[in-house]
Amino acid sequence: MRTIVLFAMSLWPALGASAADADVERRIGELVARMTLQEKLGQMSQSTSLRTPLSDAIKAEIRAGRWGSFLNAGDARDRAEAQRIATEESRLKIPLIFGRDVIHGYQTVFPIPLGQAATWDPDLVRQAAREAAREAAADRITWTFAPMIDIARDPRWGRIAESLGEDPYLASQLGAAMIRGFQGDSLAAPDSLAACAKHYAGYGAAEGGRDYNSAWLPEILLRDVYLRPFQAASQAGVATFMTAFNTLNAVPATADSFLLRNILRGEWKYEGMVVSDYEAVTNLIAHGYALDAREAARKAIRAGVEMEMVSTSFYDHAAELLRAGQITMQDIDGSVRDILRLKFRLGLFDPRPVPPPPDPQRTLAVAEKTAEESAVLLRNEGRLLPLSKSIRKIAVIGPLADSPVDQMGTWSMDGRADFVRTPLAALREMLGAGRVIYAPGLINSRDRSRAGFDRAVSAARQADAAVLFLGEEAILSGEARSRAFLNLPGAQEALVDAVAAAGKPIAAVILAGRPLTFHDAAAKIPAILYCFHPGTMGGPAIARLLFGDASPSGKLPVTFPRTVGQVPIYYAHLNTGRPPLAGDLGVPMGNPANPQGYRSKYIDVDYTPEYPFGFGLSYTSFRYSPPELSAKTLAAGGRLTITAQVANTGPRASDEIVQLYTSGPLGGSVARPVRELKGFRRVHLEPGAAVQVKFTITTEDLAYYNPKMQLAAEPGPYRA
């Protein structure tokens, strides 16, 4: 490690925003001036009531301007007809926005966001979002509720699957890439979707890992970690923000003016539109923060929520609140302006052409590459992997080897199961059906019956090697899917024991929506490939990786605990005043009067993770030269470069993800994490090849919040 001394302080630059087109603003002003209060409140309302076929009632409501947006509405023909009614038969001809949860693909499903984060490949993540936007836009969808950029440091939380991991820098880079992919070069392009940064804010810090639960975050932690991806999304031009379900420091995020007015609008100068989450406005009643829907509407509108998703408190009570002077027409008009501006940006006031059908070959190629890069090799004792294609027979064991729905993962409601190519199908295609012996062993990942074990053991005995497909089904992760235990569910560990007893080489592929704990099982399995639910083309990607047509390159975007009792566990922790020592287990030998061994540790398990953030093995090996610094000091406004040579010293071509971490300063105004990610590069190297990798650091990159909530890079020694 090298030491950098900072001699100056530097603030991050204020967020800027481009000026809105004057003609659009004029047209918005004219529309707002002509609108009745009920039409304004209609724009502030989103419904799920559009169904197939369109009812006469919903047609009449569209003509009357009752709704500004529909969520999960009908099919493409229904959306087209609803839009025709809105733009031709309503009084003001204001178009509708059609929203859909296009989270990690539409009909073609890409790896879950946590898997995409494991690629550490912003351009590939952008490509995946671009393909998803093309497919969804072809079905007349114009708005997606992604990316979810909540920092997630508790794998019990089911929605960690939808996150980009535990690190604010990585989440910021990948979240911005998703936004660029969804929104394309122009929101008005027929194949673009408006993106939505969610859930603002603190949702990933839910107590106990229980979805929707309270979050308690000191402001310095909130700003330094949990808000950084959202600020990056604002800087990336994300079209919309979504408020979170949770309370943040006892104030529901959907009624938190500190988040929505002070930070989002005031500090970041955000000019997009803010939507609540599903019924989050009326959830204020259950929180105990509002007496009834009328008060919920007042608090949410005053805080800065502009569109209410599904619940109808704005439409039902805003007129009364206006008469009582509890909200103002300025509150209403400001919201309507932002909603109309989004519709203009999307090109909805002009006939928006249906985009040409996406190229399925290109989409599937991106899906396969993303699945391939998202796989993380956790273990490879004796270089068991890759397997040889000359293998006589292989046993494929486990229900997840041939389960299209589970392979797609959570939030894939539009995913085409008939598009999915499973690992079993891909291996049969690669090797020939006669060389692949399949035995599911269990009905599903939760199955506790051992009725299928004999067949699984028989398959292993007939084969030269066995590949176990373990993990959790899609329904076990995602929203409202929190788990108190992180072990392999059902009888999977017993299945591992039974197959291991057959005495054949075993590799495991674990498909899951979160980090799992599988220490005992891993001791019996020499090679483990971890695949966060990999989507439509996961099967071919896994087959290529198992047999060496590709080398694993994914790195963990989240820390894997040894046991659930370590949670929350993450790499960028503080050191404490009594840091632990490696391997320091057992009861301390001293006592309070003579505190020998009184350190920050557990007495029954090593404090370190099972697999750390950023970890991932390869089929080749890499050598790093000592890093070189362009200078030993960094002044405000200056730049410092850190360079190292990376060489592929092994037998196979592979990608390597070079990661830059810093720590410090020592002696600052607050204690700082032991290390923080500040940069990464994905490089491809053929055997024997080498490349110079260069990172640039500025004082802005090292800035953090001090006790006065000032963002600054403080002077002192840093390590990189």
Cα distance between residue 151 and residue 165, in whole Å? 6
Cα–Cα dist 617/656, whole Å: 9
CA dist 71 and 48 (Å) reads: 5
CA–centroid distance for 305 within its chain: 23
In the residue annotation, 277 being an active-site residue is answered as yes
Task: Convert 389-442 into a string of H (helix), E (strand) and C (coil).
Answer: CCCCCEEEECHHHHCHHHHHCCCCCCCCHHHCCCHHHHHHHHHCHHHEEEECCC
Dihedral sign for Cα atoms in the order 697, 700, 705, 706: positive
- Residue 242 CA to chain centroid, in angstroms? 15
Q: Cβ atoms within 10 A of the Cβ of 444, count? A: 16
- As a whole number of angstroms, the distance between CA 700 and CA 10 comes to 6
3-state secondary structure of 365: helix
3-class secondary-structure state, position 6: strand
Q: Which residues of 275-309 are buried (b: 16+ CB within 10 A; e: fewer)?
A: bbbbbbbbbbbebebbeebbbbbbbbbbbbbbbbb
Pairing between β-strand 247-248 and β-strand 251-252 as defined by DSSP bridges: antiparallel
Query: Does the CA dihedral 694-7-168-128 come out positive or negative?
Result: negative
Q: Alpha-carbon distance 350 to 348, whole Å?
A: 5
User: With the C-alpha atoms ordered 56, 60, 62, 63, is the resulting torsion angle positive or negative?
Assistant: positive
Are the C-beta atoms of residues 588 and 647 closer than 8 Å to each other? no
How many C-beta atoms lie closer than 10 Å to residue 380's C-beta? Answer: 18
Can you tell me which residue has the tokens 């059902």?
490
How far is C-alpha 717 from the geometric centre of its chain's CA atoms? 33
Tell me how far apart the alpha carbons of residues 704 and 9 are, in angstroms, rounded to a whole number.
Answer: 11
Which one is catalytic: 154, 256, 277, 331?
277
The helix/strand/coil state of 120 is coil
3-state secondary structure of 609: coil
Is 513:541 a contact under the CB 8 Å cutoff?
A: no
Closest to 346 (Cα-Cα) out of 176, 240, 180, 189: 189
What's the rounded Cα separation, in Å, for the pair 240 and 234?
9
Which tokens go with 118?
């494991």
Per residue, the 3-state secondary structure of 129-191, as one string, reads HHHHHHHHHHCCCCEECCCECCCCCCCCCHHHHHCCCCCHHHHHHHHHHHHHHHHCCCCCCCC
- CB-CB contact of 166 with 613 (8 Å): yes
56's CB contacts (< 8 A; 6+ apart) are none
Active site residues: 277
